[in-house]
Amino acid sequence: MSTISNLTQIMVDKMALEMQGQTPLNPEEQLLVAKALDTMKNNSTFETALVAVAEEHLNTATATLKSAETAIDAAKVEIEAKASALNMIEGISTNSGNTATTVGEISSTVNTIKTASVIKSIQKGEQSLAINASVNVTVTAINPLKSFLNVSCKNGYGTHYNGNFSAAGATSVGGKITSATNLYFKNGTAWQTASPGNATVYWELIEYV
């Protein structure tokens, strides 16, 4: 590292070379320059002053660098915060997309349920039965465990006359599923001595899925 003394010596040597040129200094000028340079070389206060100036610039540079470091740290914190916010937005967007998909799937399922029928088949018919009569009706094969028989009836009747008075009685029909392909119906009992009337059964066989 160069010092003030070294630099002063270099200046003296350079001036000595120049004085050997075309226009050398006279002896008196040479003596004055030499004394001035020698004084500067040996003056520690002057050297200290130059060092102080340099240190002052270094301190200023250090302060500026520290200020820049602080600004960089603040910017880093802000960038990290914004990055975190962007990640949250991306997560919300993804969740929104998933939610929309789920809602769409639910809606589709509901629509499927709405349009889908729980009834597999329906068979209908009617049958006339005399008093105390029964009948078997053949149907298309169904699953008895998943089927239900609805029955409605137009009553039949029977009358009786013993010479002194007459009486009438109504009959109705019941039915049941006896197998996968058969229904059984039975009419009730009444007097049959005078003009009996048949009962009519209306049936509906429903099979569920």
> What would the pLDDT profile of 12-38 be if each residue is shown by its tens digit?
566 666 666 656 666 666 666 666 656
Q: How far apart are the C-alpha atoms of 82 and 50, rounded to whole Å?
A: 48
What global pTM score does this model have?
0.44
| Number of independent structural domains in the chain | 1
Among 123, 104, 122, 124, which Cα is nearest to 112's? 104
Q: Determine the pLDDT at residue 160.
A: 63
Q: Determine the pLDDT at residue 134.
A: 95
Would you say residue 168 lies in a domain? yes
Q: Examine the pLDDT at 140 and tell me if it is beyond 70.
A: yes
Q: Determine the pLDDT at residue 9.
A: 63
Would you say residue 152 lies in a domain? yes
In the three-class reduction of DSSP (H, G, I as helix; E, B as strand; rest coil), residue 208 is classed as: strand
Would you say residue 85 lies in a domain? no
Which range of residues forms the domain containing residue 146?
119-208
Would you say residue 105 lies in a domain? no
Bridge partners of 30?
Answer: none
Q: How far apart are the C-alpha atoms of 42 and 52, rounded to whole Å?
A: 17
Task: State the average pLDDT over residues 93-100.
Answer: 59
Would you say residue 139 lies in a domain? yes
Q: Examine the pLDDT at 125 and tell me if it is beyond 70.
A: yes
Q: Examine the pLDDT at 103 and tell me if it is beyond 80.
A: no
Would you say residue 124 lies in a domain? yes
Q: How far apart are the C-alpha atoms of 5 and 11, rounded to whole Å?
A: 10
More confident residue, 176 or 160: 176
Would you say residue 110 lies in a domain? no
Q: Examine the pLDDT at 48 and tell me if it is beyond 60.
A: no
| Amino acid at position 167, single letter | A
Q: How far apart are the C-alpha atoms of 10 and 7, rounded to whole Å?
A: 5
Would you say residue 135 lies in a domain? yes
Q: Determine the pLDDT at residue 81.
A: 81
